[in-house]
Amino acid sequence: MTAASCFQSQNPGIGTVVLGAYDLRRRERRSRQTFSISSISENGYNPQQNLNDLLLLQLDREANLTSSVAVLPLPPQNAAVEAGTRCQVAGWGTQRSGGRLSRFLRVINVTVTPEDQCRPNNLCTGVLTRRGGICQVRAPRGGRRGLER
């Protein structure tokens, strides 16, 4: 899964999926798995209203589950995710719009925000002490990582 809005300026069909890696410049032969995207389910993404901001990516082959690659449990379809639920977002995003991809995997803890602070029928998250989104990740002062809109 990935955010559809992160692919607005590029063709997602030419993307690569990397699993089990931390450093994109290091080989990490024992844990790293690289895939092509064989199909994409766009889920009715609406860029004008930023609704259904989720892409499901089908990989060109099955991933090997290891200590570095695992299946994450997701809530059942159409289940409500309560405000205050803690989640994690991970990736090699840019630190600023138009910037270079991070060399190292960035992971951030986010919290589901109340429905009245979000568009209807969306699930919104943020870092409670700062504004947040998931396409660009930056490291604020003090070494803790935050997300930037």
Give the pLDDT band (50/70/90) at residue 1: low
Give pTM, 2 decimals: 0.69
For tokens 């009715």, what's the residue? 44
Instruction: Set out the domains of the chain in order of their start, with CATH numbers.
Output: 1-64 (2.40.10.10), 78-137 (2.40.10.10)
pLDDT tops 90 at residue 60: yes
Q: Rounded mean pLDDT of 74-83? A: 83
Q: What integer pLDDT is reported at residue 93 of this predicted model?
A: 76
CA distances from 72 to 27, 75, 83, 88 (A): 24, 10, 20, 11
